[in-house]
Amino acid sequence: MLPKSLKNLIGELRKLPGVGPKSAERLSMHLLRSDRSNIEELAEALVNLKKGIVLCGTCWNVSEADPCKICDDESRERKTVCVVEDVMDALALERTRQYRGLYHVLHGKISPLNNVSPHDLKIQDLHSRVAESAGKNGSAISEIILATNPDMEGEATAMYIAELLKPLKVKITRIARGLPTGGHVEYADDLTLSNAMEGRREF
C-alpha cells in the first residue's frame, strides 16, 4: 500500500543498528513531512561523511589529518597512552577534560565468537609504537592505560595486551572498576561490589 520510495527509505533505515521496523516507519514519515532542504542536508551529510576522514597513523583515531590533532599537540602528556576499543570511547574520555595523554584506538575487541582475532585490531601497531618510542629520548612511552570495556571480551583484550607488552618493561594499568556515581550498593551486582571492595582506597 505504501509508495515505493517510502518503502525504499524504510528498508534502508532498517539496516541501521538499533532501528526496528516501527522506528524506520516513524523516521520515514517524519522525513516525508519535513522540508526538502532538511532531507537534502541529511543526504549531503551522508555522502560527504567519508570525505576528508583518515585514520591517524599513530593512534588510529579518525581525523582530518595524519597525525591527528591530539598526536600532533605538543602540550599533551606524550608519555602516557590510553588504549580504547573505539573512537567514541576516546571521545568520552576527552569530554571529561581530565586526561591529557595520548590515545590508541584498537577498533574493536578480541572476540573469537565474532571471528575477531588480535590481528584484526591495532594491537601489533600498539606494540610497535611502544617499542619504537623506547629508542627516542624524552618521548619514550612510560605508561599504557588499558581502558577497554569492563565486559568479558574487553577484559580478555586488556589481558592479551598486558601480556604482549610485558617484555617492553612499560608500566601497564587498568581503569578502575567499582560503583558508578549515583549507583546503589543495594542494587549493585556481585561482581561490581567485589570489584568496588577490592579496589578500595584510603580515605
- What DSSP designation does 177 have? -
Residues of this chain, 82-141, that bind a second copy according to CB under 8 A: 86-88, 90-91, 94
DSSP string, 141-158: --EEEE---SSHHHHHHH
Residue 180 is a binding residue for a second copy (CB under 8 A): no
Length, in residues, of the chain? 203
Question: How many residues bind to a second copy according to rule CB under 8 A?
Answer: 54
Residue 64 Cβ vs a second copy, minimum distance, rounded to whole Å: 5
Distance of CA 63 to the CA centre of its chain: 14
Residue 176 is a binding residue for a second copy (CB under 8 A): no
* Contact predicate 172/157, CB 8 Å: no
Residue 42 is a binding residue for a second copy (CB under 8 A): yes
3-state secondary structure of 115: coil
Place of cell 533505515: 13
Q: Which span (7-15, 133-141, 161-169, 177-185) binds a second copy, by CB under 8 A?
A: 7-15
* Residues near a second copy, by CB under 8 A: 1-6, 8-9, 11-13, 15-19, 23, 25-32, 36, 38-53, 61-64, 69-70, 86-88, 90-91, 94
